[in-house]
Each structure stands twice: as structure tokens, then as C-alpha cells.
Structure 1
Amino acid sequence: MNWVGIADDLRRHWYLYAAMPFFASAIGWFTKLVAVEMLYRPLEFKGIPPYLGWQGLIPRYSARMATMAVDLMLSRLLDPQEIIDRIDPAELAAHVQEPMLETVEGIVHELMMRHQPGLWELLPDQVRHFLIRRMQGDAPQLIAQMMDDLKENVDLVFDLRTMAIDALMRDKALTVRLMRDLATPELRFMVRSGLVFGFVLGLVQAIVWALTHSTLIMPLFGAFVGYFTDWLALQMIFRPIYPKRYLGVFTWHGLFHKRRDEVALDYGELVAAEILTPANIIHAMMTGPQSDRLFSLIDHEIQRAMDQQLGPAKPIVEFAFGSSLNAMKHDLVNTVRERLPESTEQIERYTMEALDVTGLIIEKMKLMTNEEYENLLRPAFKQDEWKIVLVGAVLGFLVGELQVAVLLH
């Protein structure tokens, strides 16, 4: 080994050797940045289908990830019965009473003018007002009774799993945001770690180049830097599960596990704001696959309430109204079905406070095992992380070839 020649080369090309660690650091940073963006972008496939192009891993497998996330959520964090049980029927009725009273008055007047206009016009004002007030007085009790029935039949009328998956599948960007928001600090660490890991490996690269001057050194080291730093950064995010001391010098705890309390808060807030919202729950109950059962329950309660209102006078009323009474009952049910979606704003305000999805998730996440907790995020990386690492290696190899061109020319 010609140490004199090596020393002379170092003296004449010191600036190139000094640049190598920084070049390797840039490779480490760049490959991490590309790897992170490959997780999320683009939302739709770009290129020539089916293989010549790319779609972000999370959008591409959004159905799988949404299903995994929701199944974990429901198996360990949320129970439909527990959610519905948080709603107090009497409180709900009190919150919707004011708009409900106006709705009842409009419906009664509309139906009577449609089915018995002559009779309704002949009634004195005080009698009409009495009938409307009677109906208004029973409306809160009707809502409370319907909620009690709903609690007893929640599994029959509310498919929480389908609702949550649909919420994620309707908008791929929501699935991306769910994963990105949970992992922002970890992804930031991953990108920045490339600078440090790359710099250290660049020092080794400079020594090997000085000893060999082989044109294979730069691309091979570039590939190794891209591959190894991607792999190591991913491992440091999730491992070790518990704090562990290394070489008796420093302690490391997987970043995602270390931030557990913070992640629980972020996850709870995001699920409450984007997925298990009162609007989504109400929409799912009214339009989902179980909506027919919900409206059957509503029909039953309205029919029962009307029969209770008539009481002993039912035969007389049926005689006076004739066939129009049954038509009026069906019309009332249909009118309530149509007006119900318009009357959910007050329901949403109360249920947002009553459900407290954020607090419920934080409470339940404390009971999760570390392995279950890790599955909130790891599926976004695990199955396809080899692709991220491989792309890092390929990019590192290409940048290494660029280094050779610079060094030789």
C-alpha cells in the first residue's frame, strides 16, 4: 500500500475528500425525503398502468389500511353500544325541543290541510292550538322513547364498522392525513436522520476511496447509504418497544412508543373530528344498509304515539275521518322521514359533547398492549417498507454514479 501516494492524493484533492461526507449526508437526507413522499403521493396512479408509474403506498392500499385501522379501533377502542349509551334520551329531547315544537306545528297544519281541510278550517283557533300543543307536549317523550328503543337495538340499526370504513374510503386524502398526522414527528426524524447517518457513512466512504480509487465505491456506498439509513430509521421509529440501554452509553425508545400519550390525544381528536362525527353517525343510520330497520322503529313509535293520543276516542275519530286517518298516519311517517335529516343540527351539537369520542379513545388506548398500539401506524409501513428501502438504495446508487463523474472529471 503506497501511503505516500495516498497522502499526496489527499493533499491535492482534499476538497473532494472533505465533500464526500456531506455528499453522503445529502444522499441520506434525499432518499429519506423521497421515501416519505412515496408513502403519501400521488393520491392517484401516475404513469402508464399497470406497472410503469407510482401511486402513494397509503392511497394505493387505502381500503386495506382503512379496514385494518377500523377493525383495530372497534376491537380495542370503541363499542357501538358504549357510544350510543353515552346519549341521554331526556337530554337529547331537551336539546331538540325548541326546533321540534316548530316542526310539529308545521307538520300538523300541513297534514290536516292535505287530508281534512274543511274540518281543520271549521275548528276554532283555540281548539287547533290545543291539538297542536298536545302533540308538541308528547314530542319530547316520543324522541326519548325512540332513543331507548334504539339503545336496545343498536346492533340492528347502526353498523359502526361500515360507517367508519366508508368515511375513510370516501376520501383517500383522509386516510393519508390520518397516517401522516399520527406519524409527523417520526417522519421528520426519519428525514433528518439521513443527514447524520449519511455523514458517518460518508467518512467511511472517503477512507475506502483513498485506499482503492475504485469507481464502484461511490455507487455501492451510495446504494448502501440509501438502503441502510432507510432501514435503520424505520427500525428506530418502532424499536425497541420498551426503553433499552445500548453500549452502556445511551438509552433509546422507539419514537412512536415514546410518544404514546401524545399519539392517543392526536388520534382521538382526529377520529372525533373526521370519522366518528355526529353527522357521519346520523348519516349512516339514515342512509346506511341498516336504515330500513331504523325507520321501521320510527314508524312503530309514531303509530304507537298516535294511538295513545286517540285513546278511547279512537273509534269515533276513525268514523269521522274514515279512510283518510290511515292515509294521514302514513303521510305523517313519510313527512317525518323527509324532515328528519333537516332537523339534525341540534342533535349534532348535543351528541358531540355527549359522545366525547376523544376522551373515550384516550381512555381505551391506555389499555392497549404495545403491539396493538403499534398497529395504529405500522401497517402503513410494514408490508411495503421493502419498496421504500429499495428505492432508497437505487437513488443512492445513481447519486453515487454522479459522485464518480465529479471525482474523475
Structure 2
Amino acid sequence: MGAILQDFEQYWMIYLSIPIVAALIGYVTKVLAIKMMFFPLEFKGFKPYFGWQGVVPKHAAKMAGIACDTLTQQLLSPREVVDRLDAERLVAEVDRPLRQTIEEIVEEVATTYQPGLWEATPASVRRAMVSRVQADAPRMLSEILDEIKSDVDNVFDLKTMVVTSLVRDKELLNRIFLEAGDKEFQFIRRSGAAFGFIIGLVQMVAWVVFKEPILMPLFGLFTGWFTDWLALKMIFRPLEPRRYFGFEWQGLFLKRRKEVAAAYADLISKEIVTPRNVIEAVLRGPLSDKVLALVTRKVDEELNRRTSIAKPLVVFAVGGRRYQDLKQRIAEMLMTKLPDTMSYVENYAADAMDIRNTLTTRMQELEPEEFEELLRPAFRQEEWLLIATGALLGFAVGEVQVIALELLTT
């Protein structure tokens, strides 16, 4: 015992470095683990085995699907998003750009299908014809919007919209997890240092007493593995507050429910379920062919109403096939121009849909197990690999410690 104390007195500064290095191992392995979860966005290295891509970006489709399942199945429905929009108010908001769009369509259709007749028509008559179509356009657009609302599930795929956005923009996908779990990731880093220091104190005593070289890498391995494992447990467990040794503890992520809900809802409402994205999804998304069919039908009804008795003459003038082409062309031009036209309703639509407040309220009502799924998938996917990496790094640093200690104490 005396020899051990004498040895410690002689090399105490060196030995005290052991828990400091252990704390550093705990911290660095956590920082590395978090980085490996999210970066790089694309594979770096030599495929297929020598390199790395962040766990979340690598599994972007799966991660986006999981995040979207919670969003669309438990928090928000397509009908709820669209039902809050008033068709008449939408039409009123786009009155000026809609008139410009109609004028462009009339001009293009007329010059394409009856160029000589249109150019020979006096300017005042052309303006009057454009004005008549412009006057009817709001009613037709309102009818189209009402039909879209009544059949929203067949023309608007919210899940596909969300998943497509997140897979296309991996940085945005990362932000969902990073911003929702910002405090948790901070805790992981800090706890790695704190737990590592505590384990390092035990490691120091073991080294001073036994001087066994294998102890250092084993303790390093244990520090890297245990601190990862314990940090994850403390983030997500227990789901409800419990007392341990006189102290109350609840998984950090669950404890921060209100704060997380606000951050998550803010990001979703500003970056993903936005009026612009909803409009794009309806008019240019995978179900847009059904909207095109609806618009084509409305154009046909409008042309029939406009031409009525004179329809045979119109068909004769342009030709039967070209008349069908004309209807299709008008519908396609409307579908092409409407997204830009409807962009003028974004401020109204954002207020009407009220996505942020809706999500915040619904998220706070989720069961603990459901709320956990907002962040847990980022850790669950290849979690073992991240922990193993931390353990191996700790083992390697432990080996370096052995060499350094033997050089400094001999």
C-alpha cells in the first residue's frame, strides 16, 4: 500500500490525466456519433465499403416515411389542410394575376388556332372578348377549387408531398431531427464527458493499483460504449417521471414536449406543409392528372356554355379535331400557369391553414410512445454501429494511454 501511495505522489499529475482523457473520450465519441448520424449528406469515400454517409441521409426515404407517418396519420390530414381554405377568398386574392393569366391564354389560343381572324379583329373587339372571358374566370376557378376540396383525397397526396420534399432535400430532413432534438444532442455530448470522467476515476485507481496494460483499452472501450448507451437511455426513458435515489427523472425528450412541439411545428409549417408546396403538389404532383381531367371538363363546360347555339359554327371554323385539341390546350395552359397565379394567396392560405398551431396542439396530445417516434428513429437505425464506433475509438485511445503512461512513469 505504501509503495502505491508513493508511486501516486510521484506521478500524481500524470495519473490525474487519466479521468481527463476518459472525459475526452466520452465527449469525442459522442460528437463523432452525432456527426455520423447526420453527415455527410452524400457518400464520401470508395463505394461500397470504404467510406461513410450519414445514417439519416443514407436512409432518407425510410426516415422521411417514418416522420411523415406520424405527421399524416396522427397530426394532420389532407382534408384538414385544404378544408380551411375558402374558394371565394382564394379567387378574390388572385383577381389581378388571374386576369393577366386569362389574357395570356386567350391571346395564345386565338393566335394559334385562328391567327388570321384574330389579327384582323379590331383591338377594341379583342379587348371586349378578353374581358368577357376574364369576367367568367373567377367563377370557373371557384368551381374548380370547390371540386378539388370535395375530392381532396384523390387529388392531393400529403404523404408523397412530404416524403418527396425530405428525400430531395436531405439537409431539411436532418434539420427535423437536429432541431427537434437540439437539447438532447447537447446532453449527449456533455454527459459523455461527465460519465467519462467518473469512469476515468475508477480507471485511474485500477491503473495505480494493478498496472495492468489491458485495463486502459478495456476501460476506454467500456467508456465509449457505456456512455453512448446510458445517454440514449436517459433521453428516452422513462416515458413518465420516476424517482431514482430520491431524484425525479423523465426522459429528456419527453420532458421537453412543449418546446419540441413548438420547434417541430414551426419547421414543418415553414418548410414542408406550406401553401406553395400544397399548390405544387395538387397541380404538379403525382395526382395532378386527375386535376387536369377536372380542369379539362370545366373548360369544356365553359366553352359549351359560351358557344351554345354557335358551337357547330365554331367546330366548323377550327375543325373537329382541332376543337378538341383547343380544349385540351386551354386546360394544360391553366395547369401550367395556375401555380404562379396561386402564389399570390400564400399569406392568406398560411393564416387559414394554421398548420403551426394545429401541429403544436396535436403533438402535445400524443401518447408518450407516439411522441418518442418523432426523434427515436434517427437513433434506432444502425444504433449498434454508432455505439460500436464509440467503443472502438475508446479502446484505441486506451492503447495510446498505456504507451504514454509507460513512457512517462519509467
Q: Do both share a fold (TM > 0.5)?
A: yes
Give the equivalent residue in structure 2 for 1:363: 361
Please report how far the alpha carbon of residue 123 of structure 1 lies from its aligned counterpart in structure 2 after TM superposition: 5.2
**Paired AA for residue 177 in structure 2:** M
Please report how far the alpha carbon of residue 126 of structure 1 lies from its aligned counterpart in structure 2 after TM superposition: 5.0
| Corresponding residue SS for 1:179 | helix
Is the contact made by 2:296 and 2:327 (CA closer than 8 Å) also made in structure 1?
Answer: no
Please report how far the alpha carbon of residue 314 of structure 1 lies from its aligned counterpart in structure 2 after TM superposition: 4.7
Give the equivalent residue in structure 1 for 2:250: 253
Give the equivalent residue in structure 2 for 1:372: 370
Give the equivalent residue in structure 2 for 1:215: 213
- Distance in 1, matches of 2:313 and 2:41, equals 66
Distance 1:203 1:291, change over 3 A: same
- Distance in 2, matches of 1:132 and 1:54, equals 60
- Distance in 1, matches of 2:112 and 2:21, equals 82
Please report how far the alpha carbon of residue 399 of structure 1 lies from its aligned counterpart in structure 2 after TM superposition: 1.0
Pairwise mapping of residues 23-38 of structure 1 onto structure 2 (< 5 A)? 23-38=21-36
Give the equivalent residue in structure 1 for 2:84: 86
- Distance in 2, matches of 1:229 and 1:378, equals 17
Pairwise mapping of residues 136-147 of structure 1 onto structure 2 (< 5 A)? 136-147=134-145
**Paired AA for residue 305 in structure 2:** Q
Please report how far the alpha carbon of residue 396 of structure 1 lies from its aligned counterpart in structure 2 after TM superposition: 0.9
Distance 1:146 1:245, change over 3 A: same
Q: Count residues in correspondence.
A: 406
CA RMSD of aligned residues (A): 2.2
Check if 1:47 corresponds to 2:40.
Answer: no
Give the equivalent residue in structure 1 for 2:382: 384
Give the equivalent residue in structure 2 for 1:302: 299
Cα deviation per residue 1:33-64 (whole Å; 9 max; x = unaligned)? 11111111222233333333322111121121
**Paired AA for residue 287 in structure 2:** Q
Distance 1:327 1:36, change over 3 A: closer
Distance 1:320 1:402, change over 3 A: closer
Please report how far the alpha carbon of residue 124 of structure 1 lies from its aligned counterpart in structure 2 after TM superposition: 5.5
- Distance in 1, matches of 2:220 and 2:69, equals 41
Please give the TM-score of this superposition, normalised by the length of structure 1. Answer: 0.92
**Paired AA for residue 300 in structure 1:** R
- Distance in 2, matches of 1:146 and 1:289, equals 18
- Distance in 1, matches of 2:399 and 2:119, equals 92
Gaps of 5+ in 2: none
Give the equivalent residue in structure 2 for 1:115: 113
Check if 1:12 corresponds to 2:10.
Answer: yes
Please report how far the alpha carbon of residue 213 of structure 1 lies from its aligned counterpart in structure 2 after TM superposition: 1.2
Q: Which moved more, 1:336-345 or 1:158-167?
A: 336-345
Cα deviation per residue 1:163-192 (whole Å; 9 max; x = unaligned)? 211111112222222211211111111001
| Corresponding residue SS for 2:243 | strand
**Paired AA for residue 192 in structure 1:** R
Is the contact made by 2:55 and 2:381 (CA closer than 8 Å) also made in structure 1?
Answer: no
Distance 1:343 1:404, change over 3 A: same
- Distance in 1, matches of 2:223 and 2:332, equals 67
Give the equivalent residue in structure 2 for 1:350: 348
**Paired AA for residue 67 in structure 1:** G
Please report how far the alpha carbon of residue 319 of structure 1 lies from its aligned counterpart in structure 2 after TM superposition: 6.5
Pairwise mapping of residues 46-195 of structure 1 onto structure 2 (< 5 A)? 46-117=44-115, 119-120=117-118, 127-195=125-193
**Paired AA for residue 232 in structure 1:** L
Please report how far the alpha carbon of residue 140 of structure 1 lies from its aligned counterpart in structure 2 after TM superposition: 1.1
Distance 1:118 1:214, change over 3 A: closer
Please report how far the alpha carbon of residue 408 of structure 1 lies from its aligned counterpart in structure 2 after TM superposition: 0.7
Distance 1:122 1:62, change over 3 A: closer
**Paired AA for residue 221 in structure 1:** F
**Paired AA for residue 303 in structure 2:** M
Give the equivalent residue in structure 1 for 2:261: 264
- Distance in 2, matches of 1:124 and 1:255, equals 74
Pairwise mapping of residues 327-342 of structure 1 onto structure 2 (< 5 A)? 328-342=326-340
Check if 1:277 corresponds to 2:274.
Answer: yes
Is the contact made by 2:25 and 2:223 (CA closer than 8 Å) also made in structure 1?
Answer: yes
Please report how far the alpha carbon of residue 318 of structure 1 lies from its aligned counterpart in structure 2 after TM superposition: 5.6
- Distance in 1, matches of 2:333 and 2:216, equals 75
Give the equivalent residue in structure 1 for 2:283: 286
- Distance in 1, matches of 2:80 and 2:162, equals 16
Please report how far the alpha carbon of residue 328 of structure 1 lies from its aligned counterpart in structure 2 after TM superposition: 4.0
Please report how far the alpha carbon of residue 116 of structure 1 lies from its aligned counterpart in structure 2 after TM superposition: 3.8
Cα deviation per residue 1:87-112 (whole Å; 9 max; x = unaligned)? 11001000111111122223223433
Give the equivalent residue in structure 1 for 2:201: 203
- Distance in 2, matches of 1:208 and 1:108, equals 87
Q: Which moved more, 1:159-168 or 1:39-48?
A: 39-48
**Paired AA for residue 196 in structure 1:** A
Please report how far the alpha carbon of residue 371 of structure 1 lies from its aligned counterpart in structure 2 after TM superposition: 0.5
